[in-house]
Amino acid sequence: MQLETLLVNCGQLLTMDHETVHAKGEQMGYLPHIQDGAIGWKDGIITFIGTSEEARSLDCPNMIDCQGKLVTPGLVDPHTHLVFGGSREHEIALKQQGVPYLEILRQGGGIHSTVEATRNASFEDLYEKAAFHLKRLVSYGITTVEAKSGYGLEKHAELKQLEVVKKLKEDTGMEIVSTFLGAHAIPKEYKENPDSFLSEMAGLFEEIKEKELAEFVDIFCEEGVFTIEQSKRFLQLAKEAGFSVKIHADEIVSLGGTELAIELGAASADHLIAASDGAVEMFGNSDTVAVLLPGTTFYLNKDSYAKAREIINGGGAVALATDFNPGSSPTENIQFIMNLAMLKLKMTCEEIWNAVTVNAAKAIHKDDVSGRLKIGRSADVVVWNAPNYQYVPYHYGVNHVHTVFQKGVEAAKGGAYLE
């Protein structure tokens, strides 16, 4: 067998190659792995997975000794707001005074501040900024990412964001999933008529589909934003237009967005901090993935976190994401999110690794290409400066990445993106 690159002496090689598409309930406590493993690829495609002993007979000009380090699939971030203008550090003082997020929004801050900056930004400026943040995401071990629009809230600015995502995908070759979140907030000019705004956003579905600018449609179902009824109508129209759907559900108030996501067969319901006990129980009989964003709760200085333990114990599937955005979770550090999941969501290390690989891939319909190491798949592989999988969520506040391989090519090393 001829290989281009072969990693040997992988202390723990987490293949994450479950027999099922993703891990639900008790299965999240199981990590498919190989002790003293080896993995090799040619032309960016994995062609060998086995033990280091089995790899000794292989012919490879580029054999890398991992010296007992942890090796895993590239991580998957299934919820980011990657493309936006400006930043919102000027809101820190308001947050420190305890001004609620929805109150900042009502005062014209929050999303509205970013909307103004995004509308005023050129395509080139948005592209450059998003590329910077994307490279940082990769440096933390992420090789597949979802990116939402939602900071335009009008036709041209929304399409501009989606075009940026499409060009990033073309230029980098990275697995980037695009989501249209035109219904992210009610713009000031539609404050008294949100239904007309939703009609305007739904009017973009045909163009977005024709230009292949997004795979998903999302909506912020929340008090003071969009109601259950509005969200249901909007997402049903999206499904009729051929999109898969997601929901920002029950983040602040328990409106029933989680139940709606499951009813509609959404790929994911995201946030879920205020989800009811009844809604949480529904995940066990659903393929909808619960995407939890503990970084948002942490940054907004809230006490209540999403009910990860109850979702998993009830047989549901949990994924984790950064929710990278300028207002409520300005971080690209998925490793810190893993630590928060351990401390605040009470997830085990095994559950956490499933949540950032196979389950995160399922949440964005990339389970056929991302989240696991398998012969025939792209060589999206991370070597960690860690002796085992427990060490990464245990030792917080630093970047544990040794090397990120993206489609078999070094993309980041020592925590830095390689230009």
Tokens of 177: 């999933």
For the ranges 98-102, 116-120, 213-217, 381-385, the lowest mean pLDDT is seen at: 98-102
Band the pLDDT of 52: cuts 50, 70, 90: very high
Tokens of 341: 């999941």
Place of tokens 């529904």: 282
Distance (Å, whole) CA 113 – CA 325: 13
Across the strands, what pairs with 59? 2
* pLDDT in the model for residue 278: 96
* pLDDT in the model for residue 33: 98
Tokens of 165: 């995502």
Long-range contacts of 281-285 (CB under 8 A, 24+ apart): 281/310, 281/314, 282/258, 283/311, 283/314, 283/315, 283/316, 283/317, 284/24, 284/25, 284/314, 284/315, 284/316, 285/315
- Residue 317, burial from CB neighbour count under 10 angstroms (0-12, 13-18, 19+): buried
Tens digit of pLDDT for each residue in 352-403? 999 999 999 999 999 999 999 999 999 999 999 999 999 999 999 999 999 9
Tens digit of pLDDT for each residue in 330-353? 999 999 999 999 999 999 999 999
* pLDDT in the model for residue 96: 83
Distance (Å, whole) CA 306 – CA 241: 32
- Helix-, strand-, coil-residue percentages of the chain, each rounded to 5: 35, 25, 40
What is the chain's mean pLDDT, rounded?
96
CB 80 within 8 A of CB 321: yes
User: Are β-strands 318-320 and 381-384 bridged in parallel, bridged antiparallel, or unpaired?
Assistant: unpaired
DSSP 322-373: --BBTTTB----HHHHHHHHHHTS---HHHHHHHTTHHHHHHTT-TTTSSS-
Band the pLDDT of 95: cuts 50, 70, 90: confident
* pLDDT in the model for residue 260: 98
Helices (H) and strands (E) in the chain, counts: 17, 17
CB 198 within 8 A of CB 190: no
Tens digit of pLDDT for each residue in 212-233? 999 999 999 999 899 999 999 9
For the ranges 82-96, 148-162, 183-197, the lowest mean pLDDT is seen at: 82-96
Band the pLDDT of 90: cuts 50, 70, 90: confident
Band the pLDDT of 264: cuts 50, 70, 90: very high
For the ranges 194-198, 300-304, 322-326, the lowest mean pLDDT is seen at: 300-304
Tens digit of pLDDT for each residue in 171-216? 999 999 999 999 999 998 999 999 999 999 999 999 999 999 999 9
Tokens of 32: 């498919």
Residues in the chain, overall count: 419
| CA nearest neighbour of 371 among 358, 356, 384 | 358
